[in-house]
Amino acid sequence: MISAVNNRGLMRFMCYKGALNATLFIGFIRRLTLSGSGKLFLIVDNLRVHRSVKVSQWVQAHREEIELFFLPAYAPEHNPDEYLNNDLKQQLKNRPKPDSQKQLVDTTSSVMRSLQRRPARIRACFHAQHVRYAA
């Protein structure tokens, strides 16, 4: 799963099979640029995919629509999306263990859709001291 949050309480996510690669990441950020108004400023961690040549070329070609900002290495506490991931994990652990990958995806999607309907909870991801820079 990949997700993005903003300080206005919006959240987008995408479930996928396998490891995140440049093509999947570009597909996700393309969707983000299409759903927004104005230029998108996206804060990402230092995952190798985020810095790949293919992603860099795509972002450069769409520089009027999107700009990436990279967090310092090994700094998950500075990533508001990590707080969302914690919420997801807490809710998943309180549900029955899935019997299949499909059930896991369905349950994860259900929890994420539930979180999407709670903009105050998404905004709370920006209250921690280390992420106030993005508020």
pLDDT tens-digit readout, 51-105? 999 999 999 999 999 999 999 988 889 999 999 999 999 999 999 999 999 999 9
List the one residue out of 64, 8, 55 whose CA is nearest residue 29.
55
In this structure, what CATH number is given to the domain that contains residue 120?
3.30.420.10
What is the C-alpha separation between 22 and 76, in angstroms, rounded?
21
The pTM is what? 0.90
Q: Which residues, at least 6 apart from 112, have a Cβ–Cβ distance to it below 8 Å? A: 1, 3, 11, 13, 88
For 62, phi then psi, to 5°, come to -120, 30
> Please, which pLDDT band fits residue 133 given cuts at 50, 70 and 90?
confident
Answer yes or no: are the C-beta atoms of 38 and 51 closer than 8 Å.
no
Count structural domains, the chain: 1
Residue 77, domain extent: 2-134
| Whether pLDDT at 36 is above 80 | no
